[in-house]
Amino acid sequence: MSKKVHCPRCGSKRMFFQNPYASTTVWECKDCGYVSSISIEDGNLEKQLKETRKMKKISQNLLWKR
């Protein structure tokens, strides 16, 4: 069973090899443009990352409304 790879920046599952023939693994996120050799393979961590970003966005919106 292969694990899904998630973007550490936005939590997207749309991560692809930038160059599958390179000697090092470099991932690119199609949603936010993140490029690195680091990716997340834990679904629970992905959910926590998305929830954290959602809460940050909500708190920023509340600050702007004052």
Arithmetic mean of pLDDT over the chain: 77
What are the φ and ψ backbone dihedral angles of 40, each rounded to 5 degrees?
-110, 130
Percentage of the chain modeled with pLDDT above 70: 76
Residue 53 lies in a domain: yes
Average pLDDT over residues 18-33: 81
Please, what is the Cα angle at 14 between 29 and 47, to 5 degrees? Answer: 100
Residue 52 lies in a domain: yes
**CA terminus-to-terminus distance, the chain:** 49
Residue 25 lies in a domain: yes
Average pLDDT over residues 7-27: 79
Sign of the Cα torsion 43, 44, 49, 51 reads positive
Percentage of the chain modeled with pLDDT above 90: 3
Structural domain including 37 reads 15-64
Residue 33 lies in a domain: yes
Residue 2 lies in a domain: no
Residue 4 lies in a domain: no
Per-residue pLDDT band at 30 (split at 50, 70, 90): very high
Q: How many domains does the chain have?
A: 1
Residue 37 lies in a domain: yes
Q: Which is more confident, 9 or 24?
A: 9
**Element (DSSP H or E) covering residue 27:** strand 27-29
Q: Give residue for tokens 């899904």.
A: 4
